Structure 1
């Protein structure tokens, strides 16, 4: 992964701000529900999750293994959804990587501001053919660690190349 990014010589040239077409990527709210932090796409999702019964939570957490797995599943966003193309030139790929890295930085800062007593893991996964960028995050919990379990060495369990930012 480092070699692949090095070949691109990423320098964060694209800044995502409120005037950017990518502002929907960053201008999202984080919500805390049942000791989980979620990046929800709309108020309907929030209302549904706030009304989960205890049995709903038990079922959801069992299906996703734990709260970390559930956050990982819900807090999933594709950068490609904001480009509306199927094939990308090397320059477009650089631009997309720059946008993704800016979004992770902004999300990380906002998460730390909103939840200063928590630790978070933010991920950028990359699929090269076809080129696809995905952003995710979850709370770092001592009892569960990362999405793959305890210890940073388990990152190899993730199939596609991934960048991890811990804040």
Structure 2
């Protein structure tokens, strides 16, 4: 996998029509609740989260370890969900990877614009067999650091090859 990514040239423009199911997630809104930042997937989720009680939040954060873990879990996008089941060709995979990189770029810029005083970690994880792309992000908090803990060296704890962008 690493060899394939290192030799990859990002040359595909991101062409996502407004009627595409991927469009709202790429150009979506972000919102803040309880010091956590989330991508708005649908209005009902936002309404539910706004009505969480203090005990709901306590239970959620305990289950996810902390706010970073909760953001990591909720802010998860499988790029494959927007494509047909089988993408066999390397060209198709490169196109998907290029779109994923563009999504990270758009998310990063929008997060920085909406929350200029925060630092964010954006991740692209890739598996090759079967080919699968996953995007996630969370707020970087000094007390917790990255999803795996403090220090960049812990990135090896993530099973799939991953690209990390800090903004």
Q: The TM-score by the shorter chain falls in which range?
A: over 0.9
5+ residue gaps, structure 2: none
* Secondary structure in structure 1 of the residue aligned to 2:137: strand
Normalised TM-score (structure 1): 0.94
The answer to whether the 8 A contact 1:12-1:102 is kept is no
Deviation, 1:13, is 1.6
Q: Which residue of 1 aligns with 2:154?
A: 154
Query: Which has the higher mean CA deviation after the structures are superposed, 60-69 or 16-25?
Result: 16-25
The yes-or-no answer on 1:79 pairing with 2:85 is no
The answer to whether the 8 A contact 1:16-1:103 is kept is no
* Secondary structure in structure 2 of the residue aligned to 1:137: strand
Q: Which residue of 2 aligns with 1:67?
A: 67
How many aligned residue pairs are there?
Answer: 166
The yes-or-no answer on 1:53 pairing with 2:58 is no
Query: Are residues 62 and 92 of structure 1, via their aligned partners in 2, closer, same or farther at CA, if it must alter by over 3 Å?
Result: same
Q: Which residue of 2 aligns with 1:129?
A: 129
Query: Are residues 64 and 119 of structure 1, via their aligned partners in 2, closer, same or farther at CA, if it must alter by over 3 Å?
Result: same
Q: Which residue of 1 aligns with 2:27?
A: 27
Q: Which residue of 2 aligns with 1:91?
A: 91
Cα deviations by residue, 1:42-81 (Å, 9 ceiling, x for unpaired): 0000011010000000000000000000000000001111
* Runs of 4+ in structure 1 over 6 Å off: none
* Secondary structure in structure 2 of the residue aligned to 1:126: strand
* Secondary structure in structure 1 of the residue aligned to 2:118: coil
